[in-house]
């Protein structure tokens, strides 16, 4: 079953490689490029949210760190590829540094700690001269839509299949799920939760930052509002929840659906920016109540159990014991 899904994903990936040959409209190609970027951001978000059970609202911070690192290094004469890779490294180190104390916090507190981190980083970018303050940084323009399509697809494809191997094939994914289900129990089985959580955090931060770097070079401009705003985390969260948490295909489905909605919404109702946020919030709350397994989970249940049923529900945790 899993193999069939992997084959399916590879087929979709191969089909996506052919898109620029068929699509000549620049706007459409642009939409496709951004959709692929969001797939990557949603999948990376799910490593921590779906597999490990930790909500990382610092997602936007890592996206922005990657973008800013790329912009700053390219302004100093670096090439694009080494600059974007360096952005990934910076974010990876940042994830270790930030994760060390915050991942000791239980799930919910971790979520707010990373939220504070994201806002702190945004404030820092607004204040520092290195980042150009509120004006942001301009990058040398490189107007090659196809180049960016393939770079985005390459980064997201590599991320997706690497994560597929690590989370669905290698024991690593099972270890993370063990932490999600019961952190104390995982510890009793000899796992080192802190170490694993930090590994997951880094694994989620690096592709996010690289995508941030590609994004910055693509749009040739980055500022604290666009690259470090809440929207990156919020949108990644709604994509993951709507599509189906704890799987790799779910976030992809969610990203495509939500991004399609966003594109249509912005095309016709761009003056109602706040309405979009309201809909986003309502979509998050409603999918938790009505689609707890996401769109994907809902479809799979309709067709009958095609995979081993989800683990039996845990009894309501006793007092003093929070989620793992």
Q: Which residues bind other proteins (CB under 8 A)?
A: 49, 53, 55, 98, 100-102, 104-109, 111-113, 115-117, 119-120, 123-124, 126-127, 180-181, 234, 237-238, 241, 246, 274-275, 277-278, 280-286, 288-289, 292-293, 310-311, 313-314, 316-320, 322-323
Q: Minimal CA–CA distance to 130: which of 66, 209, 81, 69? A: 69
- How buried is 239 (Cβ within 10 angstroms: 0-12 exposed, 13-18 middle, 19+ buried)? buried
Write down the least CB distance from residue 91 to other proteins, Å: 17
Measured between alpha carbons, how far is 314 from 323 in angstroms, rounded to an integer? 10
Angle, helix 294-302 to helix 249-269, in steps of 10 degrees: 120
Q: Which is nearer to other proteins, 25 or 273 (CB)?
A: 273
Residue 268 Cβ vs other proteins, minimum distance, rounded to whole Å: 18
Smallest distance from the beta carbon of 103 to other proteins, in angstroms?
Answer: 10
Shortest reach from residue 61's CB to other proteins, in Å:
11
In terms of CB distance, is 117 or 203 closer to other proteins? 117
Smallest distance, other proteins to C-beta of residue 16, A: 29
Which residues, 6+ apart, have CB-to-CB distance to 31 below 8 Å? Answer: 263
Q: Shortest distance, CB of residue 278 to other proteins, whole angstroms?
A: 4
The nearer residue to other proteins, 304 or 320, going by C-beta atoms, is 320
Residue with Cβ nearer other proteins (11 or 322): 322
Minimum CB separation of residue 297 from other proteins in Å reads 9
Residue (210 or 280) nearer to other proteins, CB: 280
In sequence order, the β-bridge partners of residue 222 are 137
Q: Which is nearer to other proteins, 20 or 229 (CB)?
A: 229
Select 50 or 212, whichever has its Cβ closest to other proteins: 50
């Amino acid at each position: 079953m899993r193999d069939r899904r992997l084959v399916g994903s590879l087929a979709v990936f191969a089909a996506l490689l052919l898109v620029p040959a068929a699509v000549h409209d620049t706007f459409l190609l642009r939409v496709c490029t951004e959709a692929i970027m969001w797939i990557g951001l949603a999948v990376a978000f799910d490593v921590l949210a779906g597999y490990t059970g930790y909500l990382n609202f610092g997602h936007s911070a890592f996206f922005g760190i990657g973008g800013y690192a790329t912009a700053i290094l390219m302004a100093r004469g670096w090439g694009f590829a080494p600059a974007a890779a360096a952005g990934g490294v910076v974010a990876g180190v940042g994830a270790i540094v930030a994760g060390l104390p915050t991942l000791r916090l239980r799930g919910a507190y971790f979520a707010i700690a990373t939220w504070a981190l994201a806002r702190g980083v945004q404030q820092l970018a607004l204040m520092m001269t290195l980042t150009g303050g509120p004006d942001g940084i301009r990058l040398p323009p490189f107007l090659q839509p196809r180049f960016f399509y393939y770079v985005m697809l390459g980064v997201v494809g590599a991320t997706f299949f690497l994560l597929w191997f690590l989370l669905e094939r290698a024991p690593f994914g099972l270890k993370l799920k063990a932490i999600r289900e019961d952190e104390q129990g995982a510890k009793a089985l000899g796992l080192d939760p802190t170490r694993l959580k930090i590994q997951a955090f880094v694994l989620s931060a690096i592709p996010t930052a690289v995508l941030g770097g590609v994004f910055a070079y693509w749009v040739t401009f980055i500022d604290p509002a666009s690259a470090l705003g809440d929207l990156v985390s919020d949108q990644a969260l709604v994509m993951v929840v709507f599509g189906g948490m704890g799987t790799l295909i779910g976030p992809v489905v969610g990203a495509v659906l939500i991004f399609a909605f966003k594109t249509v919404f912005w095309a016709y109702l761009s003056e109602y920016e706040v309405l979009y946020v309201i809909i986003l919030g309502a979509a998050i709350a409603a999918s938790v109540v009505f689609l707890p397994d996401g769109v994907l989970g809902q479809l799979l249940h309709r067709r009958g159990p095609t995979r081993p049923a989800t683990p039996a529900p845990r009894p309501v945790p006793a007092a003093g014991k929070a989620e793992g």
